[in-house]
């Protein structure tokens, strides 16, 4: 693309008024958003209760890391195959099957935690049952995410992709605000069985919402593509484009080393002394910041100087983690986590919009699966790394060190991927 064509493209984009509500006028996208909200809320409730139960059983931060590892292993192992499935089969049907499995997992946790099911919480059988369910959840999520991300491109016109990314990530963050707090409160007042039952109901609502989605324009499906070739195409699409690879790698290392969510029970109980209810609010705080940021992104056109903004957002995230590690005041810890959530949301928006707007629709499932290996798995592996580091170094030093490592990684990626440094408008990129 020449400089003249690029300038003309930017002028044309600027001439089109930004309609932030346009995606929400599409009925299929409204049901899509409802499904994202209810599934995410159920998963957040389930996650906070699982974390507190496991820590209550073991009082060992490494056990919290093992929860992340239990979900990450099937999530990573099946990711590329899941992307191939999403690009080869009906994406809506794949999402439905995955949500059925997630509903059954939440229901199983509710059953094993029902009143009278076990006389003691400190039981090895309960711990093993929780880990087993988490493994199955990881497998189901591995198929759900690429299918759902690709499905969103079949629900709205291409001109609405940027706004639809802001909406779907925004409603996910709203769920992430309410889910952990609600999970902590229900667990603290009514017990684990009730909390898991609420999560199961929300998964069922997500399943029903996806069933109501009607696809606007189905992406073309190849008649037959060998599995090895299909997987290779998805991987090469990312690795041959330094802009995408740099953005994904940076988010991977930021979450891998910079996150503190997995060991928040340690901070809640031993450092801030706020109990399970406080844990819910600590897990909610990053999502509050993310919701504020996502609202700003949804109501405005895609920002300029997206590359530098992306890089500085990850730096801010790392600095917040360093400050959180030394904080001894609950309100300050909440504030730092909220700011980190806003910074993380900004980086997620840039990366997600790049994928949604510049990947051919027929490859969205495979590219999304590569992305989920980088980003989605980093949450679970990051949880394991946080647990190991907290066990070896202590909670505060491990989080502080992770924040500093994140900042160093930003400098390395900014040097290695100048395309990312120079990125201006997300919707005017050469790929």
Q: Is the pLDDT of residue 3 over 70?
A: no
CB 261, CB 390: distance < 8 Å: no
Span 316-340, average pLDDT: 89
Written as six digits, the tokens of 101 are 């499995």
Whole-number Å distance between alpha carbons of 285 and 277: 13
In a domain, 32, yes or no: yes
In a domain, 174, yes or no: yes
pLDDT above 90 as % of the chain: 15
Least confident window among 58-67, 195-204, 383-392, 393-402: 383-392
In a domain, 85, yes or no: yes
Q: Is the pLDDT of residue 32 over 50?
A: yes
Number of domains in the chain: 1
Q: What is the pLDDT of residue 1?
A: 41
Task: Give the dihedral of Cα atoms 130, 134, 135, 136; nearest 10 deg.
Answer: 110
The long-range contacts involving 332-337, CB below 8 angstroms and separated by at least 24 positions, are 333/267, 333/272, 333/282, 333/285, 334/281, 334/282, 334/285, 335/285, 337/260, 337/282, 337/285, 337/286, 337/289
In a domain, 263, yes or no: yes
Span 83-107, average pLDDT: 91
Which of left, alpha, beta for 241 (phi over 0: left; psi -120 to 50: alpha)?
A: beta
Confidence tier at 10 by pLDDT (50, 70, 90)? very low
Task: Kindly give, in sequence order, each residue whose CB lies less than 8 Å from that of residue 382, ignoring residues fewer than 6 positions away.
Answer: 68, 255, 256, 257, 259, 262
Q: Check which CATH number belongs to the domain holding 73 and give it.
A: 1.20.1250.20
pLDDT tens by residue, 225-246 = 666 777 777 777 777 778 778 8
Span 338-365, average pLDDT: 80
Whole-number Å distance between alpha carbons of 306 and 10: 14
Whole-number Å distance between alpha carbons of 42 and 35: 11
Q: What is the pLDDT of residue 430?
A: 45
φ and ψ at residue 302, rounded to 5 degrees: -55, 130
In a domain, 163, yes or no: yes
In a domain, 1, yes or no: no
Whole-number Å distance between alpha carbons of 37 and 203: 10
Write out the residue range of the structural domain in which residue 416 sits. Answer: 23-214+229-421
Span 8-28, average pLDDT: 62
pLDDT tens by residue, 275-294 = 777 887 887 788 788 888 87
Task: Kindly give, in sequence order, each residue whose CB lies less than 8 Å from that of residue 127, ignoring residues fewer than 6 positions away.
Answer: 54, 57, 58, 63
């Amino acid at each position: 693309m020449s400089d003249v064509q690029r300038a003309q493209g930017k002028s044309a984009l600027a001439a089109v008024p930004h309609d932030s509500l346009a995606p929400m006028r599409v009925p299929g996208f409204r049901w899509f958003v409802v499904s994202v909200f209810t599934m995410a809320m159920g998963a957040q409730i389930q996650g906070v209760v699982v974390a507190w139960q496991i820590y209550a059983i073991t009082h060992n931060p490494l056990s919290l890391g093992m929860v992340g590892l239990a979900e990450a292993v099937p999530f990573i192992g099946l990711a590329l195959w899941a992307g191939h499935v999403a690009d080869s089969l009906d994406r809506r049907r794949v999402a439905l099957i995955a949500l059925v499995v997630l509903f059954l997992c939440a229901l199983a946790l509710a059953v094993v935690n029902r009143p009278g099911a076990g006389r003691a919480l400190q039981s090895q059988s309960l711990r093993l049952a929780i880990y087993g369910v988490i493994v199955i959840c990881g497998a189901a999520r591995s198929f759900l995410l690429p299918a759902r991300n690709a499905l969103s491109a079949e629900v709205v016109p291409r001109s609405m992709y940027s706004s639809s990314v802001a909406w779907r990530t925004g409603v996910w963050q709203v769920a992430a605000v309410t889910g952990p707090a609600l999970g902590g409160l229900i667990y603290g007042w009514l017990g684990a069985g009730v909390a898991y039952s609420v999560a199961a109901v929300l998964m069922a609502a997500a399943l029903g919402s996806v069933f109501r989605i009607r696809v606007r324009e189905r992406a073309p499906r190849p008649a037959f593509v060998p599995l090895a070739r299909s997987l290779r195409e998805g991987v090469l699409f990312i690795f041959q484009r330094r802009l995408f690879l740099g953005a994904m790698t940076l988010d991977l290392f930021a979450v891998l080393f910079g996150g503190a969510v997995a060991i928040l029970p340690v901070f809640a109980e031993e450092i801030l002394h706020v109990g399970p209810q406080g844990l819910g609010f600590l897990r909610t705080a990053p999502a509050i910041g993310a919701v504020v940021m996502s609202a700003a992104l949804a109501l405005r056109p895609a920002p300029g100087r997206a590359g530098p903004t992306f890089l500085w957002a990850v730096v801010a995230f790392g600095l917040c983690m360093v400050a959180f590690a030394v904080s001894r005041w609950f309100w300050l810890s909440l504030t730092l986590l909220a700011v980190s959530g806003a910074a993380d949301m900004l980086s997620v928006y840039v990366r997600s919009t790049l994928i949604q707007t510049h990947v051919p629709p027929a490859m969205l499932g495979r590219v999304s699966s590569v992305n989920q290996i980088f980003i989605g798995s980093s949450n679970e592996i990051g949880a394991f790394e946080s647990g190991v580091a907290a066990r070896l170094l202590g909670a505060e030093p491990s989080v502080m060190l992770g924040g500093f490592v994140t900042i160093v990684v930003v400098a390395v990626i900014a040097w290695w991927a100048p395309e990312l440094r120079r990125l201006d408008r997300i919707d005017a990129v050469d790929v």
